[in-house]
Structures are given as C-alpha cells and as structure tokens.
Amino acid sequence: MDLGLTDRVYVLTGASNGLGLATAEQLVAEGARVVIAARDPGRVAAAVERLGGAGSAVGLAATLADPDTPQRLVDAAGEHFGRLDGALVSVGGPPVGTAAQITDTQWRESFETVFLGTVRAIRTVAEALPDGGAIGLVLSTSVRVPISNLGISNGLRPGMAAVAKEMSDEYGPRGVRFVSLLPGRIMTDRNRQIFAASPDPERARVDTESTIPMRRLGDPAEFGRVAAFVLSPAASYLTGVTIPVDGGALRGI
C-alpha cells in the first residue's frame, strides 16, 4: 500500500532518539522529509545524519518548554522544504514517583513541558496545516490505566488526550486530523530508566513481559510504523481517537 508520503513534510519533537526518531525513520523511508527537534544539539545532529542529511532532514536544538519552539519548527519546515503536512509531538517522560511523592516543583515543571508545551505545539502547528494535515501525540497507556510509580504521567496524559479529542472536533471541518498514540512497554531509554529505578531491574523486566500477551517488549520501529501510517494520507478518515501500541497489554476492548 502506498501511504502517499512522498515529498510530504513533518515536524517531530523529542525525535533525536526513541519513538520520535523511529517515526522519523519510517517517514523518510516512505519518501517524506522531516524537521526534528530535541534538547541536545549533538544528538540532534547525529539523528539528522542517520536520517540521510540535509536532503531528508533538518534539526533544531529546542525544547517545548520554550514558547518559541513550535513557531520555529513551523518556520523551519517552510524555509527548508517549502511546506508542512503534519507533526508528531512527543516530550520526555516526567519524573518517576507516585502522585503523592512528587513535589509541587516537579508538578509545575512537568505541567509546563509535558502538558502546556504540547498544547502550545499542536495549536501552533494546526494553524499552519492545510487540508489533509495530521498531528499525532505520543502519550502513554496511562491515558487509560494508571501506571504504578508514574503519578505525573497518570495525571497529565489523560488530559492531553482529551485536548486532542476536542481539537479534532474544532479542526475537522478544515480537514486537519488529531490522533493520540499510546505506546506501552517499548524498549526505549525511558523504559530502561523505569526498569533501572526498581530494586531488581531484570526481574522488573521479566515481570513486565509476563503481563503483555505477546510476552515481550516492543521495538521502537514497531511504533514508528504505526505512527507513520497515522500521519499519512492513507489514514485520512482517522481522527479523534486513541490508539494503543502495546502488544495487547491494555485489557479494555
């Protein structure tokens, strides 16, 4: 199936590694071009090189905590590639800890980056998109079921999915789509961090795998393929939904 991604242009945040980079790789493999952003300049440069260099990708060292970042990404897409067709918005995972353990400072900082930074980004990108544009949010299965020791994620991510749903109503008449993606346990640096925080990391991994019907953790490329499809014209009647990519871990139908 032709996804219709040739020469389309997407911006991706948090894309120097993990799920964002995996999605960028799939988009580029299908003929799209990308503008990627992440905090670390060295990792951004390495990711651009991995994606094929300036003909396929450009990078910005930026964070969604900076209010100027979304417009910088939109402007970079226009300057380098002459168009913008969508975005994948992802931010780093918030601090580990239960809702009761997390400090006020951690809650405020996470709200600024994880929640408000995401809302600002999708609002800015949506205004710049033409008919047929699409925005994907990288959230978590915590949108549907709280995850132990991830109190901030449990508190903020369901609200982000609700914002995406509301914006899908508002922008649907313009032909702009919003989809929330809910990765489960996929072997990224974030999940390595979560396992490392447990008293017995290897036991924690084995126990986690035992709760997944497929009995394994996901690979970032498996998420990237789903995200690339969601952002593509091939998914043109898909909006306002949450899609788990979790190996069947969520028990709801």
- Supply the pLDDT for residue 160: 96
Other CB atoms within 10 A of residue 182 CB = 22
Alpha helices in the chain (DSSP H): 18-29, 41-50, 69-81, 104-110, 117-128, 151-171, 189-196, 201-210, 220-231
Lowest mean pLDDT among 63-77, 194-208, 222-236: 194-208
In angstroms, the CA 96 to CA 193 distance is: 9
**Please, which pLDDT band fits residue 96 given cuts at 50, 70 and 90?**
confident
- Supply the pLDDT for residue 233: 98
Q: What is the mean pLDDT of residues 231-236?
A: 98
pTM, full prediction: 0.94
Q: What is the mean pLDDT of residues 39-60?
A: 97
Q: Is the pLDDT of residue 95 over 90?
A: no
**Contact in structure between 193 and 97 (CB atoms under 8 Å):** no
- Supply the pLDDT for residue 205: 87
- Supply the pLDDT for residue 190: 74
- Supply the pLDDT for residue 134: 98
Q: What is the mean pLDDT of residues 208-213?
A: 92
Whole-number Cα distances in Å, 54 to 57, 102, 215: 5, 41, 39
Q: Is the pLDDT of residue 116 over 90?
A: yes
Share of the chain above pLDDT 90, in %: 85
Burial 80-110 (b: 16+ CB within 10 A, else e): ebeebbbbbbbbbbbbbeeeeebeeeebeeb
Which CATH topology does 9-240 take? Rossmann fold (3.40.50)
- Amino acid of residue 149: N
